[in-house]
Amino acid sequence: MNIIVQKFGGTSVSTKERRKLAIDKILKTYDEGNKVVVVVSAMGRKGEPYATDSLRGLITDSNPKCNLKHLDLLMSCGETISSVVLSSELEELGYKSLPLTGFQAGITTNSNFSDARIISIDQSKIMNYLNENYIVIVTGFQGITESGEVTTLGRGGSDTTATALGAALGAKCVEIYTDVDGIMTADPNVVPKAKIIEEINYEEIFQMAEKGAKVIHPRAVEIAQYGNIPLKIKNTLSDHPGTTIHSHYKQLYSVSELRTTLLTAITHKDNIVQVTVYTEGKSDKESSLLSRLTECDISIDMINFFIDKKVFTIESKDLEALENILNDLTLNYIYLDGCSKVTIIGSRITGIPGVMATIVKALGSENIQIFQSSDSHLTISCLVAKEHAKKAVNILHKAFSLDDN
């Protein structure tokens, strides 16, 4: 049985005209002999009545500290509306279709309301309907706890639902439909010369998502990689082939297609704070600091630890909580707010001499100061002033010949 999971985002189901385009994609896949499971997001974006953020605002605008369990129940309504409407429109065309909530689809999660994790999927109900030639429409972004409470999966939750179902059902692939033609070498709103990436591996796309690219949620990529399910990022509004995400880098390019550039993409992430904490070699205070950071769920990045001081970055939203911890531990510190992290990504940069030199030379030519850097086998990140971030991305995009692809 060839099963294909197709996920349609909020803009793809926001109007009848958009849903018709989505239905064309669904029926083309179905009529080719595939079994189709469709995952839908809530209709539209903030400001539109059934969008997730609009529903959330019904409570949080007046009660920011509302009960998360109640909030999840409310927010799950958006995807439910989308699934019923889309299923009804398919039935009008003479196709067997039915909507399923996350609970009905067998998705069980933990009880971390508003950011739940899927712990199991009972795929039997979906499989029964697929065997009866139904097109199954599943609500994205939601599940249910073992005690019967509705949960939501956090940002990117519909992507997560789609890849998790793809893995559970042994799908041939998962297609993520959005309003762009695929994954690009940089944000096209920042770099006008950014190009579509035809194929990419899981590790690269995970790093892009982690480092600020709004393409697909990192959790969804992890699930797809674990299940070795190919992902395709496509446009509901066009027939562009999009971007395919595979498991192994060597599968991606034939000899004739081998890239001459080192990089796959460049991303940037704003609202970063660089923090320097003076621990003066006191291991007990260092240990206490790290424990408190963990307790408060504050993630640190670009970490450089020295005997007398610790230098790292956090997201701006965590600054107040971090200051409370540091003051409580009577630690001296300074911080630099208003930073951005610019990251180059590519499987081929490991062990290649001159990559950092190219970065320093390119940014230095425009007097862009690098406050800090960090690297992994796939990435090199540089911390710069936020006002220079977009310029830095454009400079590096050109310096590494991504403009020429």
Annotation: binding site: 7-10, 52, 79, 178-179, 214-215
Distance CA 329, CA 325 (A): 6
Secondary element (H or E) of residue 384: strand 379-385
* Amino acid identity for residue 387 in this structure: E
Show the CA angle centred on residue 103, arms to residues 297 and 60, nearest 5°.
45
Nearest 5°: the CA angle 32, 36, 42 is: 130
The binding site for ATP consists of: 7-10, 178-179, 214-215
**Residues ≥6 apart with Cβ < 8 Å to 41:** 7, 8, 9, 10, 12, 13, 52, 78, 79, 82, 140, 141, 158
DSSP 51: S
Instruction: Please report, in angstroms and rounded to a whole number, the separation of the first and last CA atoms in the chain.
Output: 38
Given the structure tokens 């310096």, which residue do they identify? 399
In angstroms, rounded to a whole number, what is the distance separating the alpha carbons of residues 276 and 250?
41
Please tell me the distance from the alpha carbon of residue 104 to that of residue 70, in angstroms, as a whole number.
19
3-state helix, strand, coil in the chain (%, to 5): 40, 25, 35
Closest CA relative to residue 231, chosen from 166, 185, 160, 173: 173
Q: Is the CB of residue 99 less than 8 Å from the CB of residue 85? A: no
SS3 36: strand
